[in-house]
Amino acid sequence: MDTPDDSKAELPTAFQEHLGSVADFYARHNRDLSPAQKAVEKISYFLGSPSYVVGNLVFVVLWIAWNLAAPELGFDQWDEPPFFWLQGLIALNAFVISTTVLIRQNRMSTLASQHSHLDLQVNLLAEEKNSKIIRMLEELRRDLPNVRNRADPEAEELSKPTDTETVLSIIENTAEQLNCERK
């Protein structure tokens, strides 16, 4: 059976370097978390677990069962129906869960924004490289004496670098038009 280190050794060196860069990015991001954010992260993982949901359901059922059966067993009820204190605990629980989820989502949103910015930069660089490769291949094709020289309008078009300002402008205009149509 392969260990993770064995399978990593089979990857090309350049890919291993990229994996290292991504791992460093996440490590740096986690290292820069404040103690309060780390605590919220731990709490949100716990609050989002199936065992927490099951625990809550068991607690509610036991609370209701105890408070309905207590008078029959000769004990005092903590909370008479309609279970005012239970409703308060559930509301407090909902507040804590929603707040921790929102805090975590804000951090994940920031991380996702950084990812999409990196994706955009990498894609623009890849597009630039592809255009350069096409230009070089076309030059090579024209310069080789044993290759028939022919016009290739598609290759000519693809060899031109993309004007990112124009593309961004088109995207912004399209988004504005969509927003106007929705109103």
- Residue 96 falls within a domain, yes or no? yes
For 143-163, what is each residue's pLDDT tens digit? 887 877 777 788 778 777 777
Q: What is the C-alpha to C-alpha distance for residues 85 and 60, in angstroms, rounded to an integer?
A: 11
**Is the pLDDT at 1 greater than 60, yes or no?**
no
Residue 11 falls inside a structural domain: no
Domains held by the chain: number: 1
Highest mean pLDDT among 1-10, 56-65, 159-168: 56-65
- Say if residues 40 and 98 touch (Cβ distance below 8 Å): no
Q: What tokens appear for 33 in the block?
A: 């978390």
Domain range holding 57? 33-182
pLDDT at 86: 96
Q: Does any domain span residue 142?
A: yes
Res 82: pLDDT = 92
Give the pair of three-digit tokens for residue 27.
């490590």
Instruction: Report pLDDT digits (tens) over 5-24.
Output: 555 567 667 667 767 777 77
Asked if residues 90 and 61 have their Cβ atoms less than 8 Å apart, the reply is no
More confident residue, 137 or 61: 61
The percent of residues above 90 in pLDDT, for the chain, comes to: 26
Q: For 30-45, what is the mean pLDDT?
A: 86
pLDDT at position 163, please? 76
∠ CA 118-164-123, nearest 5°, is 35
pLDDT at residue 164 tops 80: no
Nearest to 106 by CA among 36, 1, 19, 46: 36
Helices (H), the chain: 4-9, 13-31, 35-47, 50-73, 84-143, 153-158, 164-182
Number of residues that make up the chain: 183
pLDDT digits (tens, 9 = 90+) for 70-90: 999 999 888 889 999 999 999
Q: How far apart are CA 88 and CA 95, in angstroms?
A: 10
173 in a structural domain: yes
Is residue 40 included in any domain, yes or no?
A: yes
> Are 138 and 152 contacting, i.e. CB atoms less than 8 angstroms apart?
yes
Residue 173 exposure: Cα atoms within 13 Å on the Cβ side: 6
- Is residue 9 in a domain? no
CA count, 13 A, side-chain hemisphere, 127: 14
Any domain includes 5: no
Residue 9 has what pLDDT? 60
* Mean of all residue pLDDT scores within the chain: 83
Q: Give residues with Cβ within 8 angstroms of 97, minimum separation 6.
A: 47
**Res. 179: pLDDT tops 80:** no
Mean pLDDT of 53-77: 94
Question: Would 24 be classed as within a structural domain?
Answer: no
Higher pLDDT, 57 or 115: 57
